[in-house]
Structure 1
Amino acid sequence: MSRWRAWAQDLGLALLPARCLVCGERGVGGQDLCDDCRAALPWNRSACARCALPLPVPAPLCGRCRRAPPPFDGSCAAFRYGFPLDRLLPRLKFHGDLAAGRLLAELAAEALAEASRPQLLLPVPLHPARLRQRGYDQALELARPLARALDLPLCADHLRRQRATAAQSELGAPARRRNVRDAFALRPGTLPAHVAVFDDVMTTGATLSECCRLLKRAGVVRVDAWAVARAPAPGAG
């Protein structure tokens, strides 16, 4: 994403009235979202406390986390992945729509403000080849305004993706785990005791788990997994 394009988008937002990015109606509260679409947001308020999997009723642990706890200590995903997240996130991820990213970060901050507060926020990085191809890192574009809203330190380069991987969306759960195995590395440096790793969408949790496992091996005491949205269990809802 060029600086010129980002500047042009910011200028457009300043000069034009807020418009809902979902339906095109007038936005409210200074956000690019109307009242009706805000009411449709699928907040993930009933979820497993360990992996953020949406549940019919809140529970400390879902069945999978009871059987095989993930390597992160807790997680928080602001939304279930569904309408209108399934429109807004692809606009950021694949079409460079930074306005959609800004809106998602503002909304996610409302939910993530209630989570246990980490000392550092680490976005999941893209591989350099994918970054050159896309021109921007969607997790970082979301993490920057989120960190500002929550007044959290952000480090964009402590985690690095050392191996190019296939797109996770094309793979099943076992293949996702194999795909990201040893895909990440840590740059030298001291890390605080409590860190949150952040991604746009958590589906099976394979990517976030791999990052969290690496941080635990490096001596971080508590590692949380944060995401804008969490995919429901297959066949749910």
Structure 2
Amino acid sequence: MRYLWKRRLLHLFFPTRCPVCGDIIGAMDCFCGECSGKLTAYSGSFCIDGADSFTAAFVYDENIKPAVFLLKDGTDGNASYALGSFLAEKLRADGTDKRTDVIVPAPMHRRDIRRRGFNQSLLIAREVSRLLGIPVEEKAIAKSRHTRSQKELSRVSRTVNLRDAFTASPDIKGRNILLIDDVCTTGSTLREITAALKKAGAASVHCACCCKTPQQKYESES
């Protein structure tokens, strides 16, 4: 209840805006009606090696891209609230919330956090946590080695780039993890984090992201 009043109060001084087009919307709204109607819900089937399930809210396309850019360029605005709300709804619908007991956001290297100012996956994880009542464990895994940006690389290079880049805490032993990231492309990041969590003793790892890119782009890559 306190969170809801805080959003309504902030809305009086800093009106809530649609994270796609920038139009003013209601204090508790995620997107404006027009943009919401253009978004494509993800209904595909995708597997992360080693993970127990995979969930995504939207297909990553030109319609949702502006909201993701708000997160990635360090602005955020209403983006984490909107994306996190839809992801939480999808996780509740497919029952993943009943199979997990702790949320772990995909980590960023400290150098990248200093540049951006925050970890966008953590912001999304907090929104999901608020709606599903599952606690967030920010320090369950760390990115101990700086890597190149994944978007610059091919499928094979993405895997090599992230090898041994993540270190999980032994405190997650026996826990059922909900691993959250913003966008999934080939699944390399989620796969490497899942492997680190399982190696540290996680009972299960359920991967979730706000957006999943169309897979066709990578089918011809070796």
TM bucket by the smaller chain? 0.7 to 0.9
Structure 2 match to 1:171: 153
Which one-letter code corresponds to 2:47 in the other structure?
Answer: R
Secondary structure at the counterpart of residue 19 of structure 2: coil
Structure 2 match to 1:106: 85
Per-residue CA distance 1:14-50 (angstroms, 9 max, x = gap): 43554433234452583142212111111112x1163
TM-score by length of 2: 0.85
Secondary structure at the counterpart of residue 169 of structure 1: helix
1:124 to 97, 106, 130: 106
Structure 1 unaligned regions, length at least 5: 1-8, 52-69
Which one-letter code corresponds to 2:158 in the other structure?
Answer: R
Distance in 2 between the 1:37 and 1:205 partners? 27
Structure 2 match to 1:23: 21
Root-mean-square deviation over aligned CA pairs: 2.2
Structure 2 unaligned regions, length at least 5: 1-6
Q: How far 1:197 moved relative to its partner?
A: 1.1
Distance in 2 between the 1:106 and 1:82 partners? 19
Specify whether residues 10 and 140 from structure 1 end up closer, same or farther in structure 2 by C-alpha distance, changes over 3 A only. farther
Report whether the alignment pairs 1:217 with 2:199.
yes
Specify whether residues 83 and 108 from structure 1 end up closer, same or farther in structure 2 by C-alpha distance, changes over 3 A only. farther
**Do 2:60 and 2:214's aligned partners in 1 also have CA atoms closer than 8 Å?**
yes
Which one-letter code corresponds to 1:50 in the other structure?
Answer: C
**Do 1:77 and 1:228's aligned partners in 2 also have CA atoms closer than 8 Å?**
yes
1:204 to 176, 182, 186: 186
Q: How far 1:235 moved relative to its partner?
A: 4.0
**Do 1:102 and 1:145's aligned partners in 2 also have CA atoms closer than 8 Å?**
yes
Per-residue CA distance 1:114-133 (angstroms, 9 max, x = gap): 23221111001110111112
Distance in 1 between the 2:217 and 2:190 partners? 22
Distance in 1 between the 2:149 and 2:165 partners? 13
Distance in 1 between the 2:117 and 2:21 partners? 27
Q: Compare the two structures and name the one with the higher helix fraction.
A: 2
Structure 1 match to 2:33: 35
1:13 to 11, 14, 20: 11
Secondary structure at the counterpart of residue 154 of structure 1: coil
Distance in 1 between the 2:37 and 2:104 partners? 30
How many corresponding residue pairs? 209
**Do 1:159 and 1:184's aligned partners in 2 also have CA atoms closer than 8 Å?**
yes
**Do 1:20 and 1:33's aligned partners in 2 also have CA atoms closer than 8 Å?**
yes
